[in-house]
Amino acid sequence: MGPTMPPSKKAQSPSSGLGATRGLSPLYREAEAADLSLSLSASFSKAEDEELTSLSWLHESTDLLNSFSHSGLRSVSPLQDPDGHPLPPHSPSSSSPSPDPCDSSTYDLAMGANRKPPYSFSCLIFMAIEDAPSKRLPVKDIYGWILEHFPYFASAPTGWKNSVRHNLSLNKCFKKVDKDRSQV
Partner DNA sequence: AACTTCCTAAACAGAA
Partner DNA sequence: ATTCTGTTTAGGAAGT
Q: Which residues bind DNA (CB under 7 A)?
A: 5, 8-10, 12, 36, 38, 88, 90, 101, 116, 119-122, 138-140, 143, 157, 159-160, 162-163, 165-170, 176
Shortest separation between residue 139's beta carbon and DNA, angstroms: 4
Helices assigned H by DSSP within 132-158: 139-149
Residue 142: CB partners within 8 Å, gap ≥ 6?
Answer: 38, 125, 128, 129, 164, 168
Is the Cβ of residue 38 or residue 58 nearer to DNA in the bound state?
38
Is the Cβ of residue 36 or residue 110 nearer to DNA in the bound state?
36
Sign of the Cα torsion 26, 173, 128, 138 reads: negative
CA 14, CA 25: separation in Å to the nearest integer?
22
Shortest separation between residue 69's beta carbon and DNA, angstroms: 22
Residue 51 near residue 172, CB atoms below 8 Å: yes
Is the Cβ of residue 3 or residue 82 nearer to DNA in the bound state?
3
Sign of the Cα torsion 162, 163, 165, 170 reads: positive
Is the Cβ of residue 7 or residue 24 nearer to DNA in the bound state?
7
Shortest separation between residue 180's beta carbon and DNA, angstroms: 13
Shortest separation between residue 41's beta carbon and DNA, angstroms: 12
